[in-house]
Structure 1
C-alpha cells in the first residue's frame, strides 16, 4: 500500500473499501482501474506497492461518474473514446474529476457520440441535451470542486440522507467523516454500538452534536449492508 508521503491530500481507499463506498462489486472496481485481465478504463493515481492496490479520491470520483454513464447504458468502448478526447482537450489524465469537463465539456460529448455512434450516448446528447443535463446534475449534486483554475474534485457527499457525511481527501486521509466536526463515521458508529444505542451519551463523550452520531451510524449501517449484499 502507498506510504503516507504519497497520499497526503489524495485520500486512500483499498479496492474493497472503495467498492463498499460506491456500492459496486470489488471485481468491477478493480477491472475499471487495473484491468483485471482486460483493458483498464481509468488511470490509477496511486502506485501499487507490495501487491496492494488502492484508489485515490480522484479515482473514486472518476468511478462514481463512470458508473453513472454505465447506468445510462453507455458502452465502455464509448467511454474510453470520450476519455481519450477529454484527456487531450483538457490536458489531464483524470478528466472525469475536473470541473471543466462537467460544465463546458459538451463538445467532448457531442464529438464522442458522433465518432462512436453509440445509440445511448447519442440519445443523451440529442436535441437540447436535456438528458445529459439530468445526468450531469445528478453527479454534481454530490461532488464539489476546488476554486483553482484546475477545478479538481475535492469533496464527495455520498448520501443525501446523511448530509453531514463527506469524504474530503484533505481530512483524515479521505475517510468518511462528519463534515462539521471531522470525526470519522466509523468511530461514532462503533461508539454508539458500545454504548447500547445511547446517542446522547456518545454525543457527550465525543463532544459532537447528536445528529452527527445519528447520521454517522446510519451511514455506516448503510454501507455495511451494501458489503453484506
Structure 2
C-alpha cells in the first residue's frame, strides 16, 4: 500500500542518496538491498522490505531502514559475506520478528552473527550472553563491534541517532523534520543553516537572520562539512 506525507510522520523519509550520505554507503548499494538485483543470471531478492512505499517505483528509506543499512554495511566491512548476512537476517527474524537489524542486540565478529539475548551477571568478565545465529547455540561474543553506537533506544528499538556523536550537537529524530539532521539547541535542519552561510558568507549574519545562537550555526556548518569528507564505502 502506498503512503502519503501524513503517514510518514515519525518514520523519517530518505532517498538512497540522502541516506547514503549520512551512513557512508553508496546509493546504488542501498537500492540493491531494498529492491533486489540481477547478477550473473541470478536474481537476488531484497535484504528486507522498506517501510516506505510511495508507489512511484523508486526506493526510499525510513529512519529504521537507514540504521539497518548502516548495520548491514558495518557487518560486511567486518568480514561477513553478503550471503551470510542474508541468512542471519532470516534466522534473526524467527527469533525477534521483523526488522532484526534495527534492534540493539544484533552483533558480529566477522565470522558469525550474534543476537544478544541476556545479561549474564554470573560471568566474571561481564560479557553479554549471545546466541550464535548460525550454530543455534549460546556463545560469548568477546570481539564483536557494536554497530549501533550513538543511538537512543526505546527498549530495543532505535528512536534517535547522533550521527557524529552527541558532542557534535546534531540529532536525527524521525519525529522531527522528517528525520533530517537538526541542530540540537534550535531544532533547525543543519542543511538550512549551512546553506544560508554559503549564500551569505557569514556565520554571524545567518545567526541573526535565523534568530539562533552563533554556536548553533557553527555546529550545523561543521556537521555538514564533516559529512562531505569521508569516502563512500565500496
Report the CA distance between 1:31 and its aligned residue: 0.9
**Partners of 1:199 and 1:213 within 8 A in 2:** yes
Q: Count matched residues.
A: 208
**Partners of 2:4 and 2:54 within 8 A in 1:** no
Report the CA distance between 1:228 and its aligned residue: 9.6
* Corresponding residue of 1:142: 150
Gaps of at least 5 residues in structure 1 are 116-124
Q: Secondary structure at the match of 2:165?
A: coil
TM-score calculated relative to the size of structure 1: 0.80
* Corresponding residue of 2:133: 111
* Corresponding residue of 1:205: 209
Report the CA distance between 1:162 and its aligned residue: 6.1
- What is the correspondence of 1:29-178 to structure 2 with a 5 Å cutoff? 29-37=30-38, 38-91=44-97, 93-101=98-106, 104-105=116-117, 107-108=130-131, 110-112=132-134, 114=135, 128-132=140-144, 135-136=145-146, 139-147=147-155, 151-160=156-165, 163-178=168-183
Gaps of at least 5 residues in structure 2 are 39-43, 108-114, 118-128
Q: Tell me the distance in 2 between the aligned counterparts of 1:221 and 1:30.
A: 25
**Partners of 1:162 and 1:218 within 8 A in 2:** no
Q: Secondary structure at the match of 1:140?
A: coil
Residues 227/111 of structure 1: CA separation in 2 closer, same or farther (3 Å cut)? closer
Matched, 1:179 2:180: no
Q: Secondary structure at the match of 1:173?
A: helix
Q: Tell me the distance in 2 between the aligned counterparts of 1:52 and 1:111.
A: 32
Give the strand-richer structure, 1 or 2. Answer: 2
Q: Secondary structure at the match of 1:153?
A: strand
Q: Secondary structure at the match of 2:171?
A: strand
Matched, 1:10 2:11: yes
Q: Secondary structure at the match of 1:130?
A: coil
Report the CA distance between 1:227 and its aligned residue: 8.6
Give the helix-richer structure, 1 or 2. Answer: 1
Report the CA distance between 1:216 and its aligned residue: 1.1
Report the CA distance between 1:14 and its aligned residue: 1.0
Residues 55/16 of structure 1: CA separation in 2 closer, same or farther (3 Å cut)? same
**Partners of 2:207 and 2:217 within 8 A in 1:** yes
Q: Tell me the distance in 1 between the aligned counterparts of 2:92 and 2:232.
A: 36
Which deviates more, 156-165 or 10-19?
156-165
